[in-house]
Amino acid sequence: MLWDIFCTVIDNHGDLGVCWRLSAELARRGEQVRLWVDDASALAWMAPQGQAGVTVLPWLSPLPADRLASLAPADVLVEAFGCEIDAGLLARHRALRPEQPRVWINLEYLSAEAWVERCHALPSPVMNGPAAGWTKWFFYPGFTPATGGLMREPGVADEPTPEWRLDQRQRLGAQAQHCLVSLFCYEPPALPALLARWQTEGQAGQPVHLLVMPGRPAAAVRAVQAEPPAFAEGTDWLRLAWPEAVPQAEFDRTLRACDLNFVRGEDSVVRALWAGRALVWHIYPQDDEAHRDKLGAFLDWLDAPPSLRQFHEVWNGLSAAPLPPIDLPEWQACVQAARAKLLAQSDLVTQLLRFCTEKR
């Protein structure tokens, strides 16, 4: 099938990250994909080699008439995360195949809340505009068999060998005695307390090698360093590394090599689950506090032990309590049990292909 996937980059490139993974995996399975995006600049580091079968197109509003006139009709339209498809493009699709509506998917945000199961795969009749009379289908990624599942490429959830992890950790600059940690976050209020703890005692008596990801995580750590008391970057207990932005596959490998992963948003928490290492999720904060319920539902699904639940609440600014100790063995066992549940379910692309084939 020919797919048109539409993406608006809001902030932090998470939307584009998900859409690129979806586009690339569809193409790897033999589909043809046109990815329409209003700002594709992040693909220069996210996917520098591109992907055969994926064409990236600039999403202008409105689309130029000459672009519309030469456009072959797609079989599937995917609006990612509630963005609106250009009316001219819908009219072009309808004019070319008036008797055959497109399969129109509204790919929604990820949540573990119970209502996702009730809303997944529900139809929404289009009442006006050039696509009036068509049906839009809501497709919800999720953590249970009654949802659309999660993105999962072949091999991404395989447990690496000890030799692979040792080689990868050395490449990342960590020594054998280090606790290797990746930090990918927004501006967590508990970050100063965590860095101060690691600076004086490491992680349970083990030196920490901290990979501070570029962008907002690096800015957040620099802000802590700028505040008194003085923050020493290279103590016996804490070493900071400042990696550059890397392609998605390299980011996934980094998570698999680490002992603990701090992740944020939607895409990276899924990658951290597949990595099977202890994780802490900085959920995207929302003004209406909706993230509080989303985080609670995720921790319920994860069957998080009390220490992991409390750490999440403090890390996300939902509790003023002190940060609890990090129990790496217990947290990793929790994540690996969750990964085993997910591996027994169909992945998102398999479900999406099946759904769209049936609706055609």
Catalytic residues: 15, 266
With CA atoms as reference, report the closest residue to 223 among 182, 194, 184, 192.
192
Backbone dihedral region for residue 202 (phi beyond 0: left; psi -120 to 50: alpha; all else: beta): left
> Could you write out the DSSP letters of every residue in 291-334?
HHHHHHHHHHHHT--HHHHHHHHHHTTS--SPPPPP-HHHHHHH
CB neighbour class for 44 (10 Å; exposed up to 12, middle 13-18, buried from 19)? exposed
Residue with tokens 């509790």: 319
Token output for 62:
């409105």
- Per-residue H/E/C for 147-173: CCCCCCCCCCCCCCCHHHHHHHHHHCC
d(CA 261, CA 278): 6
Continuous segment of H or E residues that includes residue 235: none
CB neighbour class for 213 (10 Å; exposed up to 12, middle 13-18, buried from 19)? buried
